[in-house]
A and B are shown apart, each in its own frame.
Chain A
């Protein structure tokens, strides 16, 4: 649909440009400006990505992915870092999925008259604000709540739970959107068959919204993986293999930070880790995109 809008405007507009000399020059200037802007933008990013690839590529190898860091990370690999990262992510998902799904179902499926609507408005507003809170503030919050008040110290638990707080707004809004867009005909049909809301959700609605929900989940995971500031004072810096979830663990993003800022000669490792991180994010993003496309396609029913 975007394409047809696009061709409409270009063909329409192109045929009308260049009527008079003054109009022509104005049009040309804008066109030039716009092309320059686009080239500049794309160019900067190609420079960045190219640099990253160029510097990080020679670090890549199987051993890099599996070995533990040595010599403060200048040598060796990021094996233990990857494990910590996945554990932190796992804890975050453990908290985000139930809380997020429950809240999204509540927001999407239940009305409560005046008080219920007010409550939902409040929740949505608070989630919007939560989405804007800087990650360093979440770091402070996580530190105060999980590390100190709940006495978990610097641990994978603390890091994961703090990340969950950050993932929730995005996950809830995408899940709610996914659920709301599922056809109402099925809700009506389910009610007419005497099925409870819970049954309709479990058998029909959630499976139908599953691609959208998973896509939202992928986006949230992407955000979580990119997080650094919140993890520095919640899951800590320890780069050894964590023995339990109560151990401190270093996430990949934190490793990049440490290697580039605190360890002289750590640049190579930083680049290699950054490349790995980017690759992970690209994969996750591709899965999210293909899921979203599948979800949209599935909603077109054959007649």
Chain B
């Protein structure tokens, strides 16, 4: 029920104050997104106005000293790392959600969930720290150098795993008991129910979770910065050192000036547009199937 002011033009003084105050805070918050966009565009203006976006994709390479700002190698690295991470985390996360929902003994369910929630909150620097001190040397012993696209993929997969698991579990829990009971009554084995009924019905929610996880992977900075090696090159193999767009901004912002700085802002703008597109897709997906699954 919502207070409707349609049928009355009377507002007590307290309520008109309330309307004004809350309305103005809502306004401030509403313009925040626009403000972020505006500032990004403004700061990247100098380099965008020169040659538009094409210069970011056709120049010789990323050489700030000679005013060359080719984003492509880093863009490929970003996409490769994120997609690789999702490819690993999605099946693992869904399986662990299936485990929690259908296979785990009752006493295990809540502690497992609590652990996942905790893990979803672990800061990326901590993942990066562990990656740097444990994962990279391990990989390095196998195939030098240790800091590479592979380590970035593995660390990212680890980071988005809890989120995928939690959203998939929420989606699975939302599957109507009627469907499950009906399937069991038809004599389906547990595998049949899971693969034939539960997963298909939860597909939309799982997909939304996957989109959100991808968004997180694309935007991740610290962990990848710490393990990927940060050499600007298009990744030719899993064991190449790469630099992702986010890490690039983090590394070069402290000393970038003029066009260089503008180029960094432009790369941020590009990232934001990609992620916003995914967010919009995820929002439509959620709204479309009528069920909103909160992600944590």
Measured CB to CB, the residues of A under 8 A from B are: 2-3, 5-10, 12-14, 16-19, 23, 26-27, 29-31, 33-35, 37-38, 40-42, 44-45, 48, 51-52, 55, 98-103, 105-107, 109-113, 119, 122-123, 125-141, 143-145, 149, 165, 168, 172-173, 177, 184, 187-188, 191, 196-199, 201, 219, 222-223, 225-229, 232-233, 253, 256-257, 260-261, 267, 270-271, 274, 277-278, 281-282, 285, 289
Contacts and interface: CB of A to CB of B under 8 A. Distances in A.
A37 B118 CA distance: 19
Interface string B104-128: 1010010010110111011111111
A256 B100 contact: no
Contacts of A101: 25
A289 B114 contact: yes
Nearest to B215: A132
B36 A137 contact: yes
B25 A106 contact: yes
B29 A140 contact: no
A133 B3 CA distance: 33
A198 B130 contact: no
B12 interface: yes
Chain B residues touching A, majority SS = helix
B121 A285 contact: yes
A229 B246 contact: yes
Nearest to B133: A267
A100 B29 CA distance: 8
Contacts of B293: none
Nearest to A134: B219
Interface residues of B, number: 108
B254 interface: yes
Given A6-B109, A9-B184, A229-B221, A17 B189 contact: yes
Contacts, number: 318
B230 to A, nearest CB: 10
Contacts of A136: 219, 221, 246, 249-250, 268, 271
A21 to B, nearest CB: 12
A7 B180 CA distance: 12
A190 to B, nearest CB: 10
Given A41-B96, A113-B6, A145 B106 contact: no
B103 interface: yes
B266 to A, nearest CB: 10
B30 A16 contact: no
Nearest to B276: A129
A6 B3 contact: no
Interface in B195-222: 195, 212, 215, 218-222
B81 interface: no
Contacts of A7: 106
A34 B98 contact: yes
B219 A133 contact: yes
B24 interface: yes
Given A140-B268, A196-B14, A130 B33 contact: yes
A199 B222 CA distance: 46
Contact of B283 (A128, A141, A196): A128
B102 interface: yes
Contacts of B99: 34-35, 37-38
B29 A48 contact: no
Contacts of A106: 22-23, 25-26
A278 B12 CA distance: 48
B26 A102 contact: yes
19 contacts: A34-B95, A34-B96, A106-B26, A109-B3, A123-B26, A128-B283, A129-B276, A132-B275, A136-B271, A140-B39, A140-B249, A165-B32, A187-B3, A198-B12, A226-B123, A229-B124, A232-B250, A256-B123, A281-B122
Given A103-B22, A111-B4, A130-B33, A228 B221 contact: yes
B115 A131 contact: no
A133 B32 CA distance: 12
Interface string B132-167: 111000000000000000000000001001000100
B65 interface: no
A14 B172 CA distance: 18
Contacts of B264: 140
Interface centre among B29, B173, B192 (most CB of A within 10 A): B29
Nearest to A199: B14
B161 to A, nearest CB: 6
A257 B126 CA distance: 9
B236 interface: no
Nearest to B39: A144
Contacts of A143: 253
Contacts of A111: 2-5
Nearest to B157: A44
B263 to A, nearest CB: 12
